[in-house]
Amino acid sequence: MDVLTLTVFTTTLMLLVGLIVLVSYLVVRKEGSSKSGSEPYLCGESMDDFKAYISVGSSNLYWGSVSAILKKFYEVLRDRVHTGILNDWLVLMSLWFFTAVIISFIVVFVGG
Amino acid sequence: MVELITIGLTPPLLIAMAFSLPIFTLVVKRKLFYDIYALVALTIALILSLYNYYLVFYVVRGPIIYPFGGWPPPVGIVYEVDTLSAYFGIIISVVMLLIGMYSVWYLRGVSGYEWYYTLLLGLEAGMIGCVYTGDAFNLFVMLEVLSVAAYGLVVFYRTSHEAVEAGIKYSLIGAVATTIYFIALVFIYGAFGTLNMADIAFKSRTASEFPFSGVIVGNIHLASAIALALSMWAFTFKAAVVPNHFWLPDAHPAAPTPISAALSGLVVKVGVYAIIRFLYTIYGLDTLQPISNVVNLMMKVLIVLGMVSALIASALMIVQTDIKRLIAYSTIMHVGFIVTGLSLGTRLGLEASLYHTINHAVGKALLFLSAGVLINVARSRNIDELSGVGRYLQLTTLTLILSILSLEGLPPLAGFFSKLLLYEAFISSGLAILAVVLVVSSAFALLAYIKLLYGVYFKLPTREFNKVKEEWVYLTPLLILTALLIVLGITAPLFVNEVLSHISEELTNPMKYIMAAEKVVRVLGG
């Protein structure tokens, strides 16, 4: 059995197991589970205020580790390379252009 | 020859329908008419593409040619459809039809839908023209058709400053790229005396006479080297390969969501197609020395650029807060994988890249379209402001999650199998470092996707979305795309053996492509 067929076979089995687990869960779970995210209810406090505290902002996710480990890397990548300024882009794009042309010439004149 | 008119008919018919559409605006005002008009045009294009695919793969079992006006090349322009062209034609027409269906919902209450559909049909005409043409100059023309439509669609929201700025930058550099490709054509014509792809392919391999166009007329070695360098620069712009990728993260998010799906899923793939056509059919590793050395060198450079694309784009995905910008960076990463695979110069690498091309086209279109529904409900592209909106749109979120899982490479979805093939191709080429980069960039991308899912589904809603109701108008294309991802995954062994192996065989042995053209030239040229 080749690797692709084997993977299809294995994942189909995994899917079946997953479906059995899901059906079992749906059968035994308690009624009234939350879907909307309106719980928990806290003694009349404003829900909006509460929600603002219990979730980490998506934009802050990983920022602690990113700024601790890769700060310099992102500074270069975001503030110097991906500036959104056309002239900055052209420098790098021209670099690839002239590299391609020059190495092609070298190959023809040296190899030809 | 009559039965082959479907090849020559597809792009001109779409262009005719696109140009006719504005005339109807003088008498018809109802949006429903334009919805039906566009869907009919896109359906016809799909039927023609399916028929062409059937002809190439099952009837003729080789390339088929349609000479416009019955003129032999290089005097006339020919469309030459081989397995590669037919394959890309199917991808384009299927995804475009589904994007058209989604647009019916997306354009409700939006003014300017008639211009949107005009440009959408023009975009498909340009894309199919690019992959069907057998003439290098006609490829330039079709690239322009495609680009002009794409520029117009990026600035569809012309009151948005962001869209206008992105559109101007995209069109300025795009014009430079197509001009550079035009200059490459000047060198080719000056040396080969023809712009017919099969003719150039023959002469770059034998340096001998081709029927009707005659012998070579200049230094084909120098001309080919310059042409390859210039055209690769232009095509890496179209494909958004680093460092020619800067336009994409600005242009794709600024466009209407269905157009973002078309740009990310399909338009960049036309650049990929052109790279394959130049590195395998027109030129190739079997061409005369030193042309083959230049091809070899270009492939090595593209491997490096592809891997740098994957690493940079995946790293930038992590820090995005705009959902569409995050997805746009993911496109650069996947194109990086595709370009690296096809630049290995092996059949396995080609098959893996072509498989990843279709999987990415379907998966990325699904991801953009699903995200578009969430954006439409939340009226924001900021992931923080999309908090919990997915809980109110369960089916849409399901399609969003499945598209992410496929792009990440979870079996049995299609993306897993193409990534597995890419992995195998890298290892069998003795370049284990590429496999490491594939895994590392996929891991970075996973972090970004977790952030996206956390924002739109797992995070508690910070405002009410009570009036939200899912609609079948947009769910139908989303569910069809989801089904495609699953089918493409579970039929992986069959798909690789029955479709991709034929394409890679034709690409690595281009004499079939050359001989098909030569036969037609002999008949027409006398």
Residues of B182-219 as b/e, b for ≥16 C-beta within 10 angstroms? bebbebbbebbbbbbbbbbbbbbbeeeebbbbeebeee
Contact at CB, B221 and A112, closer than 8 angstroms: yes
Q: Closest Cα partner for B330 from B245, B426, B228?
A: B245
Do B306 and B337 contact (CB within 8 A), yes or no? yes
DSSP 8-state class, residue B214: B
B369 pLDDT above the threshold of 70: yes
B223 pLDDT above the threshold of 80: yes
* Cα→Cα distances B193→A44, B57, B492, B518, Å: 83, 32, 43, 16
What is residue B523's three-state secondary structure? helix
User: Global pTM?
Assistant: 0.91
pLDDT (tens digit per residue) in B43-71: 999 999 999 999 999 999 999 999 988 88
Would you say the C-alpha torsion A15, B91, B261, B394 has a positive or negative sign? negative
- CA of A59: which chain B residue's CA is closest? B321
Structure token digits, residue A72: 């310099």
Picking from B244, B388, B454, the nearest residue to A96 by CB comes out as B244
Assign 3-state DSSP to chain B and report helix, strand, coil percentages, each to 5: 80, 5, 20
- Chain centroid to CA B291: 27
B396 pLDDT above the threshold of 90: yes
Q: Closest Cα partner for B392 from B324, B325, B326, B460?
A: B460
Would you say the C-alpha torsion B121, B127, B129, B131 has a positive or negative sign? negative
Residues of chain B neighbouring A14 (CB-CB closer than 8 A): 411
For chain A positions 61-90, those within 8 Å of chain B (CB to CB) are 61-63, 66, 70, 73-74, 77-78, 82, 84, 86, 89
B202 pLDDT above the threshold of 90: yes
- Chain centroid to CA B114: 24
Contact at CB, B316 and A82, closer than 8 angstroms: yes
Angle at which helices B472-490 and A3-28 cross, to 10°: 130
- CA of B222: which chain A residue's CA is closest? A108
B107 pLDDT above the threshold of 70: yes
Residues of chain B neighbouring A104 (CB-CB closer than 8 A): 225-226, 228-229, 294, 297-298
A59 pLDDT above the threshold of 80: no
With cut-offs at 50, 70 and 90, classify the pLDDT of residue B5. confident
Q: Give the start-to-end residue ranges of the domains of chain A.
A: 85-112
Residue B62 Cα, gap to closest chain A Cα (Å): 27
Structure token digits, residue B479: 């569910």
pLDDT on residue A48: 43
A39 pLDDT above the threshold of 60: no
Domains contained in chain B, number: 1
What span, in angstroms and rounded, lies between the C-alpha atoms of B135 and B127?
A: 14
DSSP 8-state class, residue A62: T
Query: Is the previous residue joined to B290 through a cis bond, with omega within 30 degrees of 0?
Result: yes
pLDDT on residue A72: 85
Count the neighbouring beta carbons within 10 Å of the beta carbon of residue A67: 12
A52 pLDDT above the threshold of 60: no
Q: For A83, what's the count of Cα atoms within 13 Å in the CB-facing half-sphere?
A: 12
With cut-offs at 50, 70 and 90, classify the pLDDT of residue A47. very low
pLDDT (tens digit per residue) in B248-257: 999 988 999 9
Angle at which helices B83-106 and B347-378 cross, to 10°: 0
Residue A83 Cα, gap to closest chain B Cα (Å): 9
pLDDT on residue A40: 42
Structure token digits, residue B212: 């009707």
B427 contact partners, CB below 8 Å, separation of at least 6 = B435
pLDDT on residue B462: 78
What span, in angstroms and rounded, lies between the C-alpha atoms of B417 and B492?
A: 7
Burial level of B322, CB count in 10 A (0-12/13-18/19+)? middle
Count the neighbouring beta carbons within 10 Å of the beta carbon of residue B137: 18
What span, in angstroms and rounded, lies between the C-alpha atoms of B423 and A74?
A: 28
With cut-offs at 50, 70 and 90, classify the pLDDT of residue B524. confident
DSSP 8-state class, residue B286: T
B218 pLDDT above the threshold of 90: no
What span, in angstroms and rounded, lies between the C-alpha atoms of B39 and A75?
A: 46
Selected residue with higher pLDDT from A52 and B262: B262
* Cα→Cα distances B354→B12, B189, B195, B403, B504, Å: 27, 30, 26, 18, 9
Count the neighbouring beta carbons within 10 Å of the beta carbon of residue A73: 11
Do B470 and B397 contact (CB within 8 A), yes or no? no
Q: Kindly provide the ipTM of the predicted complex, given to two decimals.
A: 0.86
What span, in angstroms and rounded, lies between the C-alpha atoms of B252 and B245?
A: 11
Query: Is the previous residue joined to B11 through a cis bond, with omega within 30 degrees of 0?
Result: no
Q: Which helix (H) or strand (E) holds B79?
A: strand B78-81
Structure token digits, residue B42: 């896109």
Residues of chain A neighbouring B305 (CB-CB closer than 8 A): 96
Do B377 and B393 contact (CB within 8 A), yes or no? yes
What is residue A44's three-state secondary structure? coil
Count the neighbouring beta carbons within 10 Å of the beta carbon of residue B449: 23
B260 pLDDT above the threshold of 90: yes
> To the nearest whole percent, how much of chain B has pLDDT over 70?
99
pLDDT on residue A43: 39
B465 pLDDT above the threshold of 80: no
> To the nearest whole percent, how much of chain A has pLDDT over 70?
67
Segment A63-88 mean pLDDT: 81
With cut-offs at 50, 70 and 90, classify the pLDDT of residue B464. confident
Whether A2 and chain B come into contact, CB under 8 Å, resolves to yes
Angle (CA) B126-B129-B134 rounded to 5° is 145
Segment B424-429 mean pLDDT: 96
pLDDT on residue B427: 96
pLDDT on residue A51: 44
pLDDT on residue A50: 41
For chain A positions 13-52, those within 8 Å of chain B (CB to CB) are 14-15, 35-37, 48, 51-52
pLDDT (tens digit per residue) in B157-191: 989 888 999 999 999 999 999 999 999 999 999 99
Picking from B387, B454, B489, the nearest residue to A61 by CB comes out as B454
Mean pLDDT computed over every residue of chain B: 93
Contact at CB, A58 and B420, closer than 8 angstroms: no
pLDDT (tens digit per residue) in B344-368: 999 999 999 999 999 999 999 999 9
Segment B204-222 mean pLDDT: 88
Residues of chain A neighbouring B451 (CB-CB closer than 8 A): 58, 61-62
Mean pLDDT computed over every residue of chain A: 74
Contact at CB, B490 and A108, closer than 8 angstroms: no
User: Which of B165, B319, B394, B491 to probe the A interface (max A CBs under 10 A)?
Assistant: B319
With cut-offs at 50, 70 and 90, classify the pLDDT of residue A38. very low
Structural domain containing residue B481: 2-525
- Chain centroid to CA B4: 24
What span, in angstroms and rounded, lies between the C-alpha atoms of B202 and B79?
A: 17
Query: Is the previous residue joined to B477 through a cis bond, with omega within 30 degrees of 0?
Result: no
